[in-house]
Amino acid sequence: MQLQSSPQGIVAGSIPLFAGHPAPELLPMRGIGTVLAGWDERPPLRAFNYGDEQGDPKLLDFLLARLNDTEQPGIGRENLMIVPGSTGGLAMITRLLTSAGDTVLVDAPSYRDALHIFRDQGLRLRALPIDDEGPRLDALAAELERLAAEQVIPRFYYVVPNFQNPSGITVSKIRRRAIIELSNRHGFCIVEDDVYSDLRFAGSTPPSFYALAAGENVLRLGSFSKTLAPGLRLGWLMGGSRQIAEFVDSGVLRMGGGANPFGAAMVAEFCHSGAWQAHVDWLRGKYRARRDVALAALDRSMPAGVGWTRPAGGYFIWLRLPRAVDVDELEKRAQAQQVYFANGRGFFPEPADGAHFLRLSYSYLSHDDLRKGIGILGTLIAQLAG
Ligand SMILES: Cc1ncc(COP(=O)(O)O)c(C=O)c1O
């Protein structure tokens, strides 16, 4: 198959170690094509009209059965809606639950594009440093005390609970429980952006914040972008029934109908046929192999003083550079050799905190390009470290 153009931000001929996209050969083009071919005979009319505000009913059916089975029994239809990707869900939550000047808590580092959405809304960001189990509880408690002294209640805490973008770490169950307790005590909501949990390579994922809190005061986002295709712009949002009813009743949905009826009807058919689960099982093996190649290349290529995470799923590895190496200088030299990574500065509310960090993604690149790109980075870091 001949691809016409490179996706978002990728320079042709480069090694885009920054790209948090599925590789072209991992997209389910044939399976989606089969669904569309079937529509030749029996087109579902609902796919071509304004959709139910809550989202495609058949996709809701599939998700409800699956979430009740794999995550937690007792999730009702009133707790779920379809959104235009996790991004669309987060933008809606931010638009409807916050006003300019409100405060939200975020991890440091956190997902760069979520920080961008919060900044667009004029929100104040309070950063929680993380370790390998998630946000540090001492930092969270101290921040909450400072905010209480200023008589500020944060609107929510935004967290990527599994295989975080950018660090690859997963928040431990103990931390999840402790954060929920603090959220109840201090009156803020938790927004859980979980787009990677289906891409676990081994072991099991801790119960979600939503499950641990029995659905109280937690909004939980999921997505088909990482297990099917980002171009579908399709995800889901779980929450309390009153909250979901308010979102479903919002002006945007009243005017335009539910998220992406065409894509949702197509994905519903793909999922009900069993093809989604088969595709995810296949993807896990592919991404695990890429993760292993990337980690082996790091072990081989990196000089002393460089540290990195070893994710058990998802797309990302987080690198800590020696103090002598500034990430901007490394970025300049790497780009001169056609190697692009995600500069750590973008992932911190205070960009200077990211001066010695960078994110690598293994989702998009071939094994050879992973080895080559990481090898070049290792040589450059060794030169800069002196
Ligand atoms: C943590 C996180 N949330 C959301 C998204 C985007 O999800 P979607 O394509 O469903 O909007 C990404 C993609 O990189 C992500 O890493």
Distances in Å between the Cα of 299 and the Cα atoms of 110, 287, 307, 359 are 25, 18, 10, 16
User: How does pLDDT run across 339-377, given as a tens digit for each residue?
Assistant: 999 999 999 999 999 999 999 999 999 999 999 999 999
Residue nearest to atom 14 of ligand 1 (CA): 20
Q: How many domains does the chain have?
A: 2
Residue-range definition of the domain harbouring residue 185: 38-274
Q: Supply φ then ψ for residue 308, to 5 degrees.
A: -155, 160
Residues 235 and 136 in one domain: yes
Is there a single domain that holds both residue 43 and residue 147?
Answer: yes
Q: What is the CATH number of the domain that holds 267?
A: 3.40.640.10
CA of 81 to the centre of ligand 1 (A): 17
Do 261 and 285 belong together in one domain? no
User: With 50 as the cut, is the pLDDT of residue 255 above it?
Assistant: yes
Point out the domain boundary residue: 216, 239, 274.
Answer: 274
Q: Radius of gyration over alpha carbons of the chain, in Å? A: 21
Ligand 1: residue of 81, 86, 164, 170 to mutate (most ligand atoms within 8 A of CB) is 86
Asked if 87 and 98 sit in the same domain, the reply is yes
* pLDDT at residue 349, as a whole number: 96
Ligand 1 geometric centre to CA of 305 (Å) = 31
Answer yes or no: is the C-beta of 363 below 6 A from any ligand 1 atom: no
Residues 240 and 312 occupy one common structural domain: no
Residue 4 above 80 pLDDT? no
CA angle 158, 253, 260 (to 5 degrees): 85
Element (H, E) at 9: none
**Ligand 1 pocket mutation pick from 83, 116, 162, 225 by most atoms within 8 angstroms of CB:** 225
**Contact indicator for 218, 239 with CB cutoff of 8 Å:** yes
User: Does a structural domain hold residue 65?
Assistant: yes
Tell which one of 8, 87, 198, 364 to mutate to probe ligand 1, the residue whose CB is within 8 A of the most ligand atoms: 87
Going by the DSSP 8-state scheme, the letter that residue 313 receives in this structure is B
Distance CA 144, CA 129 (A): 14
Q: Which atom of ligand 1 lies nearest, measured to the CA of 164?
A: 1
pLDDT of residue 109: 98
Q: What is the pTM of this model?
A: 0.96
Over residues 301-343, the pLDDT tens digits come to: 999 999 999 999 999 999 999 999 999 999 999 999 999 999 9
